[in-house]
Structure 1
């Protein structure tokens, strides 16, 4: 059932939960909800447009969207995300600005608890306490600023779709330009216009963000580096640390240490 239908049918609840599968490339076009929304990917990557902003939400991040805020989401890869819809007329008051957050193990467990039937069967007072903690955790959570990936220009989009399928493609800017029917100068200018960065840096960002999913597998760091097209695992580790302020191994430990409950929820879908 659509989220807005659930909101309409259960107007007196404090929250409603819903889990959705989105295949790679799926577009959930511009829409809004009369309740606040928390988007929490269990698997995959989302790119969301909110007003004049655009954010990437990976599977160790979340996005808070205030009520009546128009937004759009695109699944960069096959994605499963859970959403919590929060009634703005009830006891817990949330902020009025969108916020992409890095999810701590505590926030992750709290969100998963809110999806459990026995939690929702508790008293209004107990649920309010859970939601107050969640609100406070969102307030203090670090913002998650990940460079955008999906371009608007059809020539850059062609490059992106090919790199998404095969991130180790070794083509130079000149070779990409020939493949998509543009000049080198045009591709460089388009990258600068859409992403405020060079073509090489945009391509690297695609590889690094896609690697977040590979880190959730049993592949070793060296295998992931090769899969992405890096000349060595040290080159991948250096680039990853520069973007995410931690090594791939540290990211993997922090993400997977409390991942059992998340994977358990996925297996139930």
Structure 2
């Protein structure tokens, strides 16, 4: 069942260059892993491909079991999977993959999820492995254990992060939740219609200080607008100035900075 649901979701999402998130929940390690593999097979059938991540906590025996079950279930696909421990997340900043599987059963560390939040490019797929909330409340994750201080015990933990995380998954669009134990979709994405992505050709300004050949290297109109800001630095300002560029991950901030510096260097 998850195959057909995910395939239809990915086909719509890829049309608009959107990502989708599939949350697989359950208590059975093998069913969790096999459902994650089935979701990626559906992604491949919908036209997806390339390389992706599988993140897990190798110090936990059950995490290794799920990883091995997943690896076995992925046999026969053309997708390439890079299996990495969560301690490697700082090294993954700035990298981009086509899909990512995050095993969150043993740990739910905000920094890890945050660092991996933009690692999948548009049109790609995220898969989260999580236990049912009532099961999750029953034990202490690796991150929670670091929060305990003397005089407090695991029984004093309130599991607020887990509860808020679950509420967010249920309240946001683009998220499919699948119960692997029962073979049942608990929540659809809520997005039935999307607008096809049509890239717009960047338009350099008619009068430019930075050479037009640099403007023509910009991939988006947003990068063109950043280059316009650099023109203010072409002449020595009367006082110190700073340019702050804010955008989501993968929008080309670094590329725009490089083009802008090249434009300034052209003056020298």
TM-score by length of structure 2 reads: 0.26
Highest relative contact order (Cα 8 Å, sep 6+), 1 or 2?
Answer: 2
Structure with larger Rg? 2
TM-score by length of structure 1 reads: 0.26
